[in-house]
Amino acid sequence: MKRFGVQIPQVFIIVFLVLMVVLALGFEIPMNWIISDALVRLVMNGVLVLSLVPMLKAGIGINFGLPVGIVAGLLGLCISVNLRMKGLWGLSAGMLFSVPVAILLGYGYGAILNRVKGKEEITATFVGFSFIPLMNFFWTIAPFSNPAMLWPIGGKGMRPVIGLKSYFAKALNHLWMVEVMGVKIPVGLLLFFALLCLLLFVFFRTNFGRAMTAVGENEQFARLAGVNVARVRTWAIILSTMIAALGICVYAQSYGFIELYDAPLMMAFPAASAILVGGSMGRHTHIAHVVIGTFLFQTTYLISGPIANEMMLPEVAEIFRLMITNAIILYALLYEGGKRHDVG
């Protein structure tokens, strides 16, 4: 069991999930809808969760400054909508536009985090929190011109929510969609996620990727081996920011709206929960943790809603879900802390 990263908390959440599936069957909630939605949710959130990996591997900790990357992605998407680009092209253009922004922001973000070694997570949290108000200011004065994006009363500045239906909503979701026994399988979406996972996997097999892992494992050793630690850390942060930017592009096309202003503020937390639920223990993070964690975390979310409504006990399922997921995160943090204690 341990070899596959399956620990007590995962067993717990799997049992909880199975229990809910049984209940859902009992209440005759259509399972084909649930499975279709679970697949979409996996990728929709999975890319954001995947973006945590480079920073975790490089020993910088959980990227609570995820909003930085998200903002880069949002900016890319807005540029694409402003140019009225449609379909997969529009989405790809949005992703493409967001990459340079992410590199730039990631570089600055990396410079900040390199100054606060050992306190990266709390600093990152506040970088995220202070960056969003700054961007709120930016969105109100941003010089975009597509009237579909501007405030309906004032006519200037960006709306909080921008509809994507005539641009690229669900462009990736509907790519190569096949239906098997009533279950809609978004093949294109899944392949895109698989490709990203594979690229990241391959990246960590390259010399540079190995150097990144080495910095995470033992910084002193890496430095002695001739690795430029600050540079590697900065690149890990840039990489995380870039993947986060792609992540929000995937998220927005699936949701069908671009959400600006305060929407990205709390997005780091469910992503962090997901990767911890998946069994990530700080530096010991694998891509499998991302996939397992996102699937379990999002599916409990997905299925607890309809069950709660059927049971007429809306609070109970919600409380259970929160209790279990939060307890797992606490366990993960404790376990990681304990191991550090053993080593030190």
d(CA 343, CA 327): 24
Question: Nearest CA to 86 among 169, 191, 21?
Answer: 169
**208 binds other proteins per the rule CB under 8 A:** no
Distance from C-alpha of 300 to C-alpha of 312, rounded to nearest angstrom: 18
Q: Which of 92, 121, 256, 320 touches other proteins by CB under 8 A?
A: 256
Q: Check residue 31 for interaction with other proteins (CB under 8 A).
A: no
Q: Is 267 in the site for other proteins (CB under 8 A)?
A: yes
257 binds other proteins (CB under 8 A): yes
Among 163, 185, 201, 210, binds other proteins (CB under 8 A): 163
> Which residue of 269, 320, 331, 335 would you call a contact of other proteins, by CB under 8 A?
269
Stretch that binds other proteins, among 188-196, 225-233, 239-247, 252-260 (CB under 8 A): 252-260
Write down the least CB distance from residue 139 to other proteins, Å. 8
| CB 39 to other proteins: min, Å | 12
Q: Where are the alpha helices (DSSP H) in the chain?
A: 8-26, 31-50, 53-57, 66-82, 87-114, 120-141, 187-203, 207-217, 219-224, 229-255, 268-277, 287-311, 314-343
The whole-angstrom separation of Cα 12 and Cα 7 is 9
Q: How far is the CB of 319 from other proteins (least distance, A)?
A: 10
Tell the burial category of 203 from Cβ atoms under 10 Å away from its Cβ (0-12, 13-18, 19+).
Answer: middle
Q: Contact residues for other proteins (CB under 8 A)?
A: 30, 33, 37, 41, 133, 136, 139-140, 146-148, 150-157, 159-167, 255-257, 261-263, 265-267, 269-270, 301-302, 305-306, 308-309, 314-315, 318, 322
